[in-house]
Chain A
Amino acid sequence: QKEVEQNSGPLSVPEGAIASLNCTYSDRGSQSFFWYRQYSGKSPELIMSIYSNGDKEDGRFTAQLNKASQYVSLLIRDSQPSDSATYLCAVDLFGNEKLTFGTGTRLTIIP
């Protein structure tokens, strides 16, 4: 099992719909979880951080965390073509002060 696992996609979503991105991780003791967005040819930029079980909302983005299931997700409401990018899940596995990234999910929003 990969330490941080994401479906590589591509995931295609119509404009205006909800995009759902998922991530599972291997260490039950992980405490910090992050979602990054990376446009082609650019560096990753932080979208959301989440540390507690439940939902955290920021504008059109909602992060969901379930530590018991070792699962974190990102929902993008009212998807826009500008949301087309690769989304990276990052986890501080084993509390060792480094972030481990998934391989990313490529999201395409279809106008």
Chain B
Amino acid sequence: KAGVTQTPRYLIKTRGQQVTLSCSPISGHRSVSWYQQTPGQGLQFLFEYFSETQRNKGNFPGRFSGRQFSNSRSEMNVSTLELGDSALYLCASSFGRGESPLHFGNGTRLTVT
């Protein structure tokens, strides 16, 4: 069974630009969660989608948004990039129940210059 696939693996952007990250979950998983990981803050929850609906949202500004498609694939968008947005962005999929563990993709390393 294929794992969670994230594209692209690496991105370099300039302040003020926007970026879109993509995530394909494990087949059969209907929930996709996004996390931001930085050395200082650890894994911070961005949002979670289940059956195309945002079910949970973390404490990030409105510049961070996402969506999920009918095939469970998800995209995350960050507009007006800031230097502090440089991080590893991780997507994880699950069956969507509380007892279901998350399975992570390899992540997208975003660098904002």
Contact = CB atoms under 8 A, between A and B. Distances in A.
A43 B98 CA distance: 21
A43 B107 contact: yes
Nearest to B96: A97
Interface stretch (B13-21, B41-49, B67-75): B41-49
B56 A96 contact: yes
Interface string A72-111: 0000000000000000101010011111111110000000
Interface residues of A, number: 24
Nearest to B47: A98
Interface string B25-62: 00000010101000001110100101000011000000
A32 B90 contact: no
B50 A97 contact: yes
Contacts of B103: 46
A7 to B, nearest CB: 13
A26 interface: no
B42 A43 contact: no
Secondary structure of the B side of the interface?
A: strand
- Residue among B42, B48, B106, B107 with most chain A CB within 10 A: B42
A99 B41 CA distance: 15
Contact of B98 (A32, A36, A42, A88): A32
A14 interface: no
Which A-B residue pairs are the 3 nearest by beta carbons?
Answer: A103-B42, A101-B43, A43-B104
Interface of B: 31, 33, 35, 41-43, 45, 48, 50, 55-56, 90, 96-99, 101-107
Interface of A: 31-32, 34, 36, 42-46, 49, 51, 88, 90, 92, 95-104
9 contacts: A31-B98, A36-B104, A51-B99, A96-B98, A98-B33, A98-B55, A101-B35, A101-B42, A104-B42
